[in-house]
Amino acid sequence: MDRSKDDKFLRLIHLDLTLLLGLLAISSMGLVVLYSAGQRDLDLVTGQAIRLGLGFAIMLVLAQAPPHYFRFWSPWIYLVGILLLLAVMAAGDISKGARRWLDLGVLRFQPSEIMKLAVPMMMSWYFAEKPLPPRLPHLLGGVLITAVPFLLIAKQPDLGTALVVGCAGAFVLFLAGLSWTILFGLAATLSAAVPLFWTFGMHDYQRQRVLTFLDPERDPLGTGYHIIQSKIAIGSGGVYGKGWLNGTQSHLDFLPEGSTDFIFAAFSEEFGLVGGCLLLTLYSFVIARCLYMATHTPDTYTRLLAGSLTLIFFIYAFVNSGMVSGLLPVVGLPLPLFSYGGTSLVTIMAGFGILMSVYSHRRTPTR
Amino acid sequence: MKTWQSFAQPTTGEPLAREKDNTAESELFFRRALVMLFAVFLGFLAVAGRLVYLQVLNHERFITLSESNRVRVQPLPPTRGFIFDRNGVLLADNLASYHLEITREQVKDLDATLAELRQRIELSDADIERYRKLARRAPPYTGVPLRFRLSDEEIARLAVDLYRLPGVDIKADLTRRYPLGPLAVHAIGYVGRIDESELRRLDPGQYSGSTHIGKTGVERSYEDLLRGSTGWQQVETNAEGRPLRVLSRTPPVPGQHLYLSIDVRLQAVAEKALEDYNGAIVALDPRNGEVLALASQPTYDPNPFVNGIDFASYRLLNTSRDRPLLNRALRGIYPPGSTIKPLMALAGLEYGEINRYSGVFCPGFYRLPGSSHKFRDWRRGGHGSVDMDRAIAQSCDVYFYNLAFNLGIDRIHAFLDRFHLGRPTGVDLPGEKSALLPSQEWKRRVHKHAWFAGDTISAGIGQGYFLTTPLQLAHATAVISQRGADFKPRILLATEDPGTRIKAPEAPRPLPPVTLKNPLFWNTVIAGMIHVVEGGTAHRIGIGAKYRIAGKTGTAQVFTVGQNERYNASRLARHLLDHALFVAFAPVDDPRIAVAVIAEHGGGGSKTAAPMARKVMDAYLLDKYDRPATDGARDTQGETQRDGSE
C-alpha cells in the first residue's frame, strides 16, 4: 500500500487522520466563534483551547489502549458508575437546584458524566455475548441496564444527561438488531398512550408545564426569553450572516448564554445560513467517518460500542442545534467541540479515543 | 479474518454463545449503521431546513426584531456612604466628576470624530493613546473613557454639539475623596478600582456598574455597609444603543454613612507626637473598646490610589524602607519588652508563685540553676533587694527572670492568652496580625526544637520569640485598667441612613472578662504601674500632670549585644537602636483612655515613648487640641446630599 510517512506515524499512535482532521476543523472553528461570542475575551478562548488540548490528549491516551481492555472493564465501570449515582442520591451536593455533584474532598465531579460512556460500554458488553438479533429476555436485560442509570439521573434531575444515557442504550439496542416489528410496535403503543395519559393521567398544572417545555414561547419571560432571542439572532443573520464580531444580538447582551449552550445562535447570527450548513456538514462528515470506522472493527462489542458512541455525538449536535433554533424543546446539552465548558468535552473526547482505539487496533492481534 | 476473530475472544473467558455468527452480525450491524447514517442526515437536514425557515423565509421579520431590540437593562450603581469621625468631621465623601466616553462601534470615522473633539476641548496625545489601548481590549458596544475631569466650560461646549457626534457621551461619576489626606489613612483606608481577582470573587449582579471597592481600612471592612445595593433600569435605546427613555426603574439603595470612634483631633495629636519616628500609637476607650486614635507612621495620601496611582509613585511607597503602606498599629509586630511586666506580675500573683511582698535580690544579672550564662539586667549594677512594686516601677529584669522561671512557659502562655496577646483582638479593621505568644507546642511545630528554660527567661521580659502588635498592647492595658472587664476594640461608632438621617449607634462588644482568684491582685499591679510614672522609670512624664497616670515603659531589643559587650546608644546607628515602648492608662481612678506607643528605634521607652503617650492623654483628658473643637465639624442641618457638586 502506498502510504505517506505521516499517515504511518498516525497509525503508529493509533489515530485516524480523517477523523482527526474533522475534529480539528470543528474545534478550531469553535475557538474563532467563541472569541466573538465571548465578547472578545481572550482568556475565555485560551481556557477553552487548553480544555480542547486536554481533550485531545485524553483521546490520544485512550486510543493506545487495546479494545479488550475496554471490554474487560465495561461491567466494572458500569457498576462503579451506578454506585456513585446512588452515592450522589444519598450525599451529593446540590447546585442550581439539582443534586448532581459528588464531593470527594479533592475532587468534585458528576458521576452521571461517567454513565455517558459506561452505559454504551455495558450494553455492548452485554449484547456481544448474546446471539443477535436479540431475543426478548435479552432485550429486557438491555432495557434494565439502561433504565436504572436513566432513572437515577432523571431523578437528580438532569434531563439532558438522562436523555444522552437513554439514547446511548437505545442506539445499542437498535444497532444490535432490535426487530423492526418491536420497534414499530413500541412506537405505536407510545403514540397511542400519550394522548390517553394526557387526558386522564395528568393534573392541569402538569399539562401546563409540559406545554411550556414543548413550546417555551408560552413563557416569554422565563425559558421563552432564551428561545425568542436565539431565534432573532439566527433569523437576523440571513444567508451570509452579519460577519464575524458584528453580531448585535450576542454583543448587546440580548442573547443569554451566548458562549455556552446558545453559541450556535451567536454563530448563525454572524455566519448566516452558509456557516450553519458548513458546520452541519462538518458534523455529518465526522459522524459518517465514525460509522464507517465502526463497521470496520472486528467484533460485535467494538462495533456496538463505536456505533453508539458516534450516535451520542450526533445527539449532542442535533439536540443542541435543534433546541437553539427552536425546533426541539429546551434541553441543556452543549454543542460538542463548540460550546465553552469542559465537563462534557472530556467525555466526548474520551468517546473519540475509544473509537480511535477500536478502529486502529483492528489488524493488530493482541496476544 | 482469522486474526481478528481470535482477537475477538471475550476476555471473560466464557465460550461464545452457541448461535453467535460474526459474519451475519457484521452484516446486520452494517445495515443498521446505514439506517442510522440516514437518520443522522435526516436530522441535520431538518435543522438546516429550520435554518432556511428562520434565515431566509423569515429573515426580514427577524432583522426588524433584532433592530428594534432596544430595551436594555442598565445597572444603577449606588452612591457610597460617607465616613465621619466621632464628632462628625468628614473623613471621606464623593466628588462628582465628568468624563468623556466614546463607543467605538457607534462612531463612523474615529479620526474625524477625534479631530472634531479636539477643536472643542483639550485632548492630549496621551489621552488618545490610552483610549486606543483601552478600546482594543474593551467589549464591543461599551463606552471607553477618553478624557477625565471635564471642566464645566468644556461640558457646556460639548453638550451643544453632542447630537452631531454619535457614540460620544459625557458620563458623570463620583470619585471618592479623602479631604484630610494622609490623616488617619491607616484607619480609614481607601477605595480603588476593582481588580481581576476581586472580580472573580464578587457577586457580578451587585457590582455591575461599579468600578471601585474598598481596599483597606474601614473602607474595606465595612464595604457592604458603605456600598449600598445596585439598582436597575430598563431603557429604550435607538438603533445605535443610545438610551432614549426609561421604561422601568428599581432605584439603587445608597450606602450607609459611617461614624468612626476616631477623634481626628486626637488622631492629629498622636500622629504629631510620633515626630519623625516610625511607629504607632493606639488609644482606646477602655470602658467600651472604642478606638480613639490609630496612628501609624509614616502615613501616605490615599487620594491618588482612588483612580489608580501611577507606577513610579506606587513603587516609591512600596519599596521605601520606612514602609508607609504598612499599618503598624495592627500589622506591625514588635517584642513587647518590659511593657509585659505588669501582666507577668499578675500571673505570678494568680498562680501563687509570689505575693506582693516577696523580695528578690537583684545583683544585675540572673543565672539559671547550673548554668553560667548571665541574663543581664538593664541596670548594670542591679537593683538590690526588690519587691513587686519596686520591680514594676524600676522595671527590674532579674525579678521577672526569676518569676518567669518559676512560672514556666505553659502557665505564662495560658495566662497571657487571656489578654488576647498573640491572637487577633477582633478589631473591625482588615488584616490584623496575630503576632506571637510563644509556647512549647509552637516551638516544636515551627522550629522543630524543644523549649529551653532560657526561652522562658527571655519571654518573661517580653523578648525572645514574644511578639505583639501595638493594638494588642493597648487592648491588654485597657483590660488591666478595667480590672478585667474586656471589650473588643472597635472603630465603628454608628451608622446613619443617608435618606432619613437616622443614626443607629453600634453597641460595645463585651468579651468574657478576665477574672482573677483575688480581685485585689489588680490593685497591686496597678499600684506598681502608678509608681512607674510617680518616681519610677517614667517619672519625667509624671511631672506636672493634672491627672494620675498608670503606665509601663518598655524597650525592645533590635540588636543583640554580645555577652561581654555593653549597649551603647551613642555608638549605634539609628536603625540598630532599641524600639521605645510605653503603655498607660489614665486617670487611674476612672480610666477613660488606654494608650500604647511604639517608636521604632526610639532608644528607650521612658525617654522617647512615654512623653508621646503623655501628649495624647493630655489632649484627650484635658481637651487640649491645636484647633478649636468645632473646626471642620459637620454642619448637620439643611444638607441633604454632598456629592461635591458645590
Known catalytic membership, residue B338: yes
Range of the domain at A83: 5-360
C-alpha cell at B94: 464623593
Q: What is the pLDDT of residue B241?
A: 59
For residues B508 and B489, give the distance between their C-alpha atoms in angstroms, rounded to a whole number. 9
For residues A67 and A364, give the distance between their C-alpha atoms in angstroms, rounded to a whole number. 11
How far does the CA of residue A199 sit from the closest CA of chain B (Å)?
A: 30
CB within 8 Å of chain B, chain A residues 221-260: 229, 231-239, 245, 248-249, 251-254
Exposure pattern of B19-51 as b/e (b: 16+ CB <10 Å)?
A: ebebeebbebbeebbeebbeebeebbebbbebb
Q: What is the pLDDT of residue B518?
A: 93
For residues B262 and A265, give the distance between their C-alpha atoms in angstroms, rounded to a whole number. 57
Domain contains A320: yes
Per-residue CA distances from B358 to B222, B405, B599 (Å): 50, 15, 34
For residues B599 and B614, give the distance between their C-alpha atoms in angstroms, rounded to a whole number. 14
Domain contains A365: no
Q: What is the pLDDT of residue B296?
A: 95
C-alpha cell at B63: 432583522
| Average pLDDT over chain A, rounded to an integer | 86
Exposure pattern of A63-78 as b/e (b: 16+ CB <10 Å)?
A: bebbbbebbebbbebb
Which residue does chain B place closest to A66, by CA atoms?
B7
Q: Is the pLDDT of residue A364 over 60?
A: no
B445-485 pLDDT, tens digit per residue, is: 998 989 998 899 999 999 989 999 999 999 999 999 999 99
ipTM: 0.93
A191-245 pLDDT, tens digit per residue, is: 888 888 888 777 777 777 677 777 777 766 666 778 888 999 999 999 999 888 8
Domain contains A323: yes
| Average pLDDT over chain B, rounded to an integer | 85
From the list A131, A251, A307, which residue is nearest B33 (CB)? Answer: A307
**By C-alpha distance, which of A88, A94, A91, A95 is closest to A111?**
A88
From the list A232, A291, A327, which residue is nearest B33 (CB)? Answer: A291
Q: B32 touching A, CB under 8 A?
A: yes
Q: What is the pLDDT of residue B208?
A: 72
CB contact under 8 A, A325 and B20: no
Please count the other Cβ atoms lying within 10 Å of the Cβ belonging to residue B641. 12
| Test mutation, B16, B25, B238, chain A, max A CBs within 10 A | B25
Instruction: Please state the domain count of chain A.
Output: 1
Q: Please report, as a single letter, which amino acid is at residue B46.
A: A
Stretches in chain B below the pLDDT threshold 70? 1-19, 69-70, 137-141, 204-205, 237-243, 559-574, 626-646
| Test mutation, A271, A303, A328, A359, chain B, max B CBs within 10 A | A303
| Test mutation, A229, A292, A315, A327, chain B, max B CBs within 10 A | A327
Q: B13 touching A, CB under 8 A?
A: no
CB contact under 8 A, B29 and A303: yes
CB contact under 8 A, A175 and B36: yes
Cα dihedral value B361, B363, B368, B372, nearest 10: -160
CB within 8 Å of chain A, chain B residues 100-129: none
B526-544 pLDDT, tens digit per residue, is: 999 999 999 899 999 988 8
